[in-house]
Each structure stands twice: as C-alpha cells, then as structure tokens.
C-alpha cells in the first residue's frame, strides 16, 4: 500500500511551486544548524560502512552534507518534484536521489535488495503522515535497516503545533514560508511525543539514545528573531 493520494498531490504541488536553492523553504536551514548538529548524536551508532538513506530528503540540502561522511548517500522523497530540486542543486553529484514512497512495502523491499542493510536519517517526516502511514513507514524502515542498520529520527515535539498555529493566526498572518506550506494543504499532524519511540519498539527497533533539540527554520518572526521549534530525536535499531 502506498501513501495517500492527498499527501502525494500536496507535496508534489508544494515542490513544483517551491523556489530553487537551499534555504528557500521553511525547514531547509543550513546543515550547520541541522544535520551537523545531529551528526554527533547518531554517528557513533551508525556503521559507517553501510549506505545512508536520507528519507524525505526534499531538495537534498542535508543529504549533500551527510554524503561527505558516509560511503554512499541516497536521498529519497515521495515527491518527484523534490527529487528534481535535489538533483538540480547537486551540481557536483555528491549524492544520489530518487523518488520513493516509504509507505510502499514492495518499493522499500526492493531498495533493501539493492542496498542491503542501510542507515536512515529521518527528519520531520512522520508527523506529516496519517497515523496509518506512520505505522506502515516504520514497519518498512525496519526492513530497510535489517540487522545492522540504525535510524536517527527527529520529529517536532507536541508543543511545536501550538507554536505553528500561533504563527498562522498572528495579526499579519503566517510568515511567507509557512504560508506557502499551508497553501498547499500541508499541516502538522497530531503526534504525541511518545509515538515515535513506541512505533519503533513495535517493530523490534529499541531506542538506543534520545533527547530534545530545537529545529531551526529559515523563517523569522516580525521582531526579527528566527523561528525555532522543539523536536524530539531518537536513535534505534535491531541490534
């Protein structure tokens, strides 16, 4: 079973309309503010000899950073338009990119047959999915990880939704980059802080490490301060 047609259409529409270049969308902060901060949290848990899959890679900003740290880096995204952005922004070809529906078990099994066990970097994907798709995606990721792979998953904390809603309802309306997301029917879903660890454990992926970090966005409030959202991160795997 694949992701809902609504999700696919919304993301395809969003990425078709998104401006080119790093930093053009709400969550696409420079790697020094994102993947570079995450790397010390998972690097010691990942087998550096395994491929790294950046699931939900968008325009590939974080994929390109991580490609310099692992033998093979593959960015995958539900949206074909996002993959086009990623390839266009990677003039040096430091990483690979392709479309993948992570809710499609057959597609994920085929990827595992190609790559073998892999590590997964998952940033801000599950909260945008339906509860049913979250379960399917985590089950499929357990296949992709296999016995040796590990996952680093970071998702907005419960408190982030209130922050986003307050921004959306402000006197001047939502900031421009947040407005662009909402205009395409994309909105943060309800997800308890406990949900990701529970989903991982249900698939035989116990949590090895966890914590909380702010997510730095590319957007600013009216007073000039950069918008940050609280996030929860976990490292998990079968071993």
Question: Which spans in the chain are helix H?
Answer: 5-17, 35-42, 61-67, 80-89, 105-115, 131-145, 158-168, 176-183, 195-202
The pLDDT of 94-121, averaged and rounded, is 97
Q: Report the SS3 class of residue 145.
A: helix
pLDDT at 2 over 70: no
C-beta of residue 108 within 8 angstroms of C-beta of residue 144: yes
Domains of the chain: 5-237 (3.40.50.150)
C-beta of residue 58 within 8 angstroms of C-beta of residue 29: no
Q: Which tens digit of pLDDT belongs to each residue from 116-143?
A: 999 999 999 999 898 999 999 999 999 9
Q: What is the Cα–Cα distance from 158 to 97, expressed in whole angstroms?
A: 31
Residues 6+ apart with CB under 8 A from 77: 11, 56, 57, 58, 83, 86, 97, 99, 100
Lowest mean pLDDT among 61-65, 76-80, 220-224: 220-224
86 burial class (0-12, 13-18, 19+ CB within 10 angstroms)? buried
Residues 6+ apart with CB under 8 A from 123: 27, 34, 35, 38, 54, 56, 62, 153, 154
Q: Which tens digit of pLDDT belongs to each residue from 149-208?
A: 999 999 999 999 888 888 888 787 888 888 888 888 887 667 899 999 999 999 999 999
C-beta of residue 141 within 8 angstroms of C-beta of residue 55: yes
Q: Report the SS3 class of residue 141.
A: helix
Please tell me which residue, 215 or 187, carries the higher pLDDT value.
215
Q: What pLDDT is stored for residue 5 in this prediction?
A: 66
Residues 6+ apart with CB under 8 A from 229: 156, 157, 160, 163, 164, 214, 215, 217
Backbone angles phi, psi at 92, to 5 degrees: -90, -5
């Amino acid at each position: 079973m694949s992701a809902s047609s609504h999700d696919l259409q919304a993301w395809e529409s969003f990425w078709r309309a998104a401006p080119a270049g790093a930093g053009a969308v709400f969550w696409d902060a420079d790697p020094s503010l994102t993947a570079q901060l995450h790397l010390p949290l998972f690097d010691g848990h990942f087998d550096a000899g395994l491929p790294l899959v950046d699931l939900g890679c968008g325009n590939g900003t974080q994929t390109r950073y991580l490609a310099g740290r692992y033998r093979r880096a593959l960015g995958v995204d539900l949206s074909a338009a996002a993959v086009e952005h990623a390839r266009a922004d990677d003039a040096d070809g430091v990483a690979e990119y392709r479309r993948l529906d992570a809710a499609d078990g057959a597609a994920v099994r085929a990827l595992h047959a190609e790559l073998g066990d892999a590590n997964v970097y998952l940033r801000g994907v599950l909260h945008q999915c339906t509860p049913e798709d979250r379960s399917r995606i985590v089950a499929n990721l357990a296949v992709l990880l296999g016995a040796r792979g590990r996952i680093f998953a970071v998702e907005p904390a419960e408190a982030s939704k209130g922050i986003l809603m307050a921004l959306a309802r402000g006197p001047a309306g939502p900031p421009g980059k947040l407005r662009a997301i909402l205009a395409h029917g994309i909105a943060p879903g309800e997800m308890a802080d406990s949900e990701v660890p529970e989903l991982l454990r249900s698939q035989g992926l116990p949590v090895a490490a966890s914590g909380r970090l702010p997510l730095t966005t590319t957007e600013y409030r009216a007073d000039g301060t950069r918008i940050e959202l609280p996030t929860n991160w976990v490292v998990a795997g079968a071993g």
